[in-house]
Amino acid sequence: MEEQQVLGVTQVNEMVKTILDGAPMLQKLLVRGELSNYKMYPSGHHYFTLKDQDGALRSVMFKGSATKLRFQPQNGMKVIASGRIAVFPRDGAYQLYCTSLSPDGIGDLYVAFEQLKEKLYQEGLFDQQYKKPLPAYPQTIAIITSSAGAAVHDMIRILRSRYPIAKVKLLPVRVQGVEAPAEIAGAIRFANRHQLADVIITGRGGGSMEDLWAFNDERVARAIFASDLPVISAVGHEPDVTIADFVADARASTPSNAAEIVVPDQGELLRNLQSMGGSLNYLQSQRIEQLRLQWDKLATSRVLVNQMAYVEDKSMMLSYLQQRFGDVSANILGRKQQSLAVLASSLDAMSPLKVLGRGYAMVQTKGGVIVKNCGDVAVGDQINVTVGDGILHCQVSEKETIQ
């Protein structure tokens, strides 16, 4: 009986690795599953598990592949992973070496767009309170876009037609490709640092979502939000919406529309000026007519025809007022005299002398105290009796009380 060869653990793992590496069907796999235990390590490598209802598959995505992701993978997300199956000899476990990852059912660009949109929304970058007003009459406009595209020529043509007195400064950048976001964000910061304009327009013509992706980049969004100069986002056509549109101070449906909203129309301004000029002329003519009527009225007035008329009128008024004053004073004095007579008559009627004149007398002690009853004096007391025409000095010789 042939003796069976005994293999080491490493040898077995290497044999399995060789077999798996030699299987073509395991080298280019597309695996559908749900992300679980997703972790990103400082090294830049991503480790996760793909699972479905009945199984699980350990997976790894190295840094070189992970940097190409355009969305943020999250646990529970259904994805399609592409890669190869291989064994790591050290621990004997096979796993999927993933080279790309995309959401299952929707594109990775759409997922990345929604994730960044939600992130910036939660941070408040879309809040209306941060939107800066556009200048009504900008003197200088900075356009940040590609110098080779049709969009910039359309904008310059419209700006020259609508408002030729505004200066236009073009900051040429790439608007598509890996380098585009950094160039766009850098141009926005440069325009702010050197205060190149009163307002910024940034954007490009239409295209696919991939073509417009530079304006969905977080760097561009944050540069727009940090801009002290108001920014108009003008990306693509009417249906196209980018992150830059949400962050910008104003959104234009197209680059041409941005040129239309950033400046007034000189034709409309001229019509407004003509209208205002007509209104001013009408108001001025009305004012002149009013002044002319006032002049005519004054020119025929008595005070100007006869210079002494004013003095005569005032003299007559003074005489009239003097007469009125005299009448009023006499009337008041008469009422006061009449009132005084009534009061004097009442006072006289209440005078004790009137009472004495009718035969009554007033009895006082030597000290001047009025005697009201017999008990106020004693027999022999001196008393004074006041009658109508004088005073009697008497002595009490006898008292008699009347019951």
- Check residue 162 and give its pLDDT: 92
CB 237 within 8 A of CB 217: no
At residue 107 the predicted structure's pLDDT band, cuts being 50, 70 and 90, is low
pLDDT digits (tens, 9 = 90+) for 108-166: 677 788 888 889 999 999 999 999 999 999 999 999 999 988 899 999 999 999 999 99
3-state secondary structure of 25: helix
List all residues 6 or more positions away from 268 whose beta carbon is below 8 Å from its beta carbon: none
- Check residue 362 and give its pLDDT: 82
pLDDT digits (tens, 9 = 90+) for 303-316: 666 767 777 778 88
CA gap 318, 320 in Å, rounded:
5
Could you identify the residue written with the tokens 């007003």?
133
Please give the average per-residue pLDDT across 356-380, as a whole number: 80
pTM: 0.54
pLDDT digits (tens, 9 = 90+) for 183-231: 999 999 999 999 999 999 999 988 877 888 899 999 999 999 999 999 9
221 alpha carbon, distance to own chain's centre: 23
CA gap 186, 189 in Å, rounded:
5
pLDDT digits (tens, 9 = 90+) for 249-291: 999 989 999 999 999 998 888 888 888 988 899 899 899 989 9
CB atoms < 10 A from the CB of 170, how many? 15
DSSP string, 348-375: HHT-HHHHHHTT--EEEETTSPBP-SGG
- Check residue 9 and give its pLDDT: 67
Q: Does the pLDDT value for residue 1 go beyond 60? A: no
CB 114 within 8 A of CB 66: no
At residue 367 the predicted structure's pLDDT band, cuts being 50, 70 and 90, is confident
Q: Please give the C-alpha separations between residue 164 and each of 159, 168, 312, in angstroms, as whole numbers.
A: 6, 9, 69
Residues 354-386 as b or e (16 or more Cβ within 10 Å = b): eeeeeeeeebbeeeeeebeeeeebeeeeebbeb
CA gap 159, 31 in Å, rounded:
53
- Check residue 278 and give its pLDDT: 87
Please give the average per-residue pLDDT across 241-251, as a whole number: 93
Please give the average per-residue pLDDT across 240-257, as a whole number: 92
Cα torsion at 215, 219, 225, 229 (round to 10°)? -80
Please give the average per-residue pLDDT across 90-118, as a whole number: 80
Helix (H) or strand (E) holding 37: strand 29-40
Boundaries of every domain in the chain: 9-105, 113-264, 272-306, 355-395
DSSP string, 288-331: HHHHHHHHHHHHTSHHHHSTTHHHHHHHHHHHHHHHHHHHHHHH
Between 219 and 302, name the one with better pLDDT. 219
Between 386 and 3, name the one with better pLDDT. 386
CA gap 161, 287 in Å, rounded:
39
- Check residue 2 and give its pLDDT: 63
3-state secondary structure of 69: coil
- Check residue 356 and give its pLDDT: 63
Report how far apart the first and last C-alpha atoms of the chain are (Å, whole number).
177
The tokens for 391 are 């005073």
3-state secondary structure of 284: helix
Q: Please give the C-alpha separations between residue 262 and each of 21, 141, 269, 339, in angstroms, as whole numbers.
A: 61, 8, 14, 88
Rg for the chain, CA atoms, rounded: 57
- Which class is 113-264 in CATH? alpha beta
Please report, as a single letter, which amino acid is at residue 166. Answer: A
CB 137 within 8 A of CB 262: no
Highest mean pLDDT among 4-8, 50-54, 138-142 belongs to 138-142
- Check residue 358 and give its pLDDT: 67
CB 309 within 8 A of CB 302: yes
At residue 22 the predicted structure's pLDDT band, cuts being 50, 70 and 90, is low
CA gap 75, 68 in Å, rounded:
19
CATH architecture, domain 9-105: Beta Barrel (2.40)
- Check residue 355 and give its pLDDT: 64
DSSP string, 136-201: SS-SEEEEEE-TTSHHHHHHHHHHHHH-TTSEEEEEE---SSTTHHHHHHHHHHHHHHTT--SEEE
